[in-house]
């Protein structure tokens, strides 16, 4: 894991490249990320950084959280996130300090996590991409039904995990390996390529991608002009099969 930032999804727009191409981007506000706690292997058994984002009124903070924020000397936030880091990375951080967009750079690949938009109660066609049945005569209004969900008397039950109708969305979702197109240092904004999970105003977590970068295979160098071809031994001709003796004539 690596250190990341917590932000608010502002909305979507587009930017134009120098070549004139349009790129859809999502604007994420990552301003005022402050360190509330630093965990070390000596005290907690692992190394991590706890970050607060947003603001919350003092009347909406319970006593335990108020004491935690007061100990760190930071303003109460509405979101707390913990990032696992290497022990040597926490040396440059201090409790109460701020983390800005300079943590990332243009062109960097990141993973963005958030809560997807809720779709309510959905059927199997929308939720699991089932195919509908024929809507011809005599179907008795069952062309959008899931169909059979069981087997016979044995096993006589529906197996757990069966894909059926139910609540859709409003779940944790992560978009991996998306690129940062632009960074607004003055307003602490990240412009990330493509769509991100969640509605406008929702909280998202941005961290460096965990997907391994595919190594590019280097092309073989071309042969130098005037180079002699490699001498290969000529293949020997295949041996001819021995002639079988003619069958004796019958007496």
Supply the CATH number for residue 20's domain. Answer: 2.40.30.10
Residue 172 and residue 109 in one domain: yes
Residues 55-104: tens digit of each pLDDT: 999 999 999 999 999 999 999 999 999 999 998 888 889 999 999 999 99
Which secondary structure element, helix H or strand E, spans residue 47, and what is its range? Answer: none
Residues 194-229: tens digit of each pLDDT: 999 999 999 999 999 998 666 555 556 666 666 665
Tell whether 87 is covered by a domain: yes
How many Cβ atoms from other residues are within 10 Å of residue 75's Cβ?
A: 13
Residue 46: which CATH number?
A: 3.30.160.810
Domain that holds residue 21: 1-31+101-118+165-213
Question: Nearest CA to 119 among 195, 175, 174, 170?
Answer: 170
Under 8 Å CB-to-CB from 212, ≥6 apart: which residues? none
Tell whether 206 is covered by a domain: yes
Number of domains in the chain: 2
Final residue of a domain: which of 213, 228, 245?
213
Q: Compute φ and ψ for 206, nearest 5 degrees.
A: -115, 125
Q: Is 193 helix (H, G, I), strand (E, B) or coil?
A: strand
- Model confidence, pTM: 0.77
Distance separating alpha carbons of residues 28 and 229, to the nearest angstrom: 59
């Amino acid at each position: 894991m690596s250190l990341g930032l917590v932000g608010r999804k502002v909305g979507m727009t587009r930017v134009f490249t120098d070549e004139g191409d349009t790129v859809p981007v999502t604007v994420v506000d990552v301003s005022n990320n402050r360190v509330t706690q630093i965990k070390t292997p000596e005290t907690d058994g692992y190394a991590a950084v706890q970050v607060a984002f947003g603001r919350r009124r003092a009347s909406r903070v319970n006593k335990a959280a108020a004491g935690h924020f007061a100990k760190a000397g930071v303003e109460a936030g509405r979101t707390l996130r913990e990032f696992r880091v290497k022990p040597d990375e926490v040396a440059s951080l201090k409790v109460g300090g701020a983390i800005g967009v300079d943590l990332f750079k243009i062109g960097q690949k990141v993973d963005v996590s958030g809560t997807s938009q809720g779709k309510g109660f959905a059927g199997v066609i929308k939720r699991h991409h089932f195919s509908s049945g024929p809507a011809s005569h005599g179907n008795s209004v069952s062309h959008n039904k899931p169909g059979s969900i069981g087997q016979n008397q044995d096993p006589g039950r529906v197996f757990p995990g069966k894909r059926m109708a139910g609540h859709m969305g409003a779940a944790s979702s992560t978009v991996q390996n998306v690129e940062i197109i632009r960074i607004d240092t003055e307003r602490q904004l990240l412009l990330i390529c493509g769509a991100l999970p969640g509605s406008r105003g929702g909280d998202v977590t941005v961290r460096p991608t965990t997907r391994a970068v595919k190594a590019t295979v280097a092309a073989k160098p071309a042969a130098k002009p005037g180079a002699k071809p490699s001498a290969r031994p000529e293949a020997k001709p295949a041996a001819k099969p021995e002639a079988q003796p003619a069958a004796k004539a019958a007496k």
